[in-house]
Amino acid sequence: KTLLLELDAALSEEALFWKQKARCSWLMDGNRSTRSFQSWVKHRASENWTAEMDISGVVGKDSYEIMEFCANRFQSFYEDATVVPTLHSGWLDGLGVLESEKSFISFP
């Protein structure tokens, strides 16, 4: 009996995974992953794929080239020493931060 409960829990987890992956509401609770549902997930993934990108005025179509450009671009944001994040005192208002907790956060 416990084995059946574990199997049911695993199947429910799988159904939830595919539901979240597809971000759609048509999979009703209790349904299991079907071939059509999984093809819907693959279709959404193919629509979200970046096939080409303008890299410094040149259209890049190579996936490695696009990945390298994006990685270097975002890495440069973190390497720039002139950017110093600041926390302004008004940002904590309305977040439910206690006064005693605010003392642990440093302000500029």
Q: For residue range 53-94, list pLDDT tens digits in order.
A: 777 777 777 778 878 888 888 887 777 666 566 666 666 666
pTM of the model: 0.33
Report domain extents, the chain. 2-47
* 103 has a pLDDT exceeding 70: no
Structure letter (DSSP) for residue 12:
H
Nearest to 50 by CA among 69, 77, 76: 69
Token digits of residue 61: 């179509």
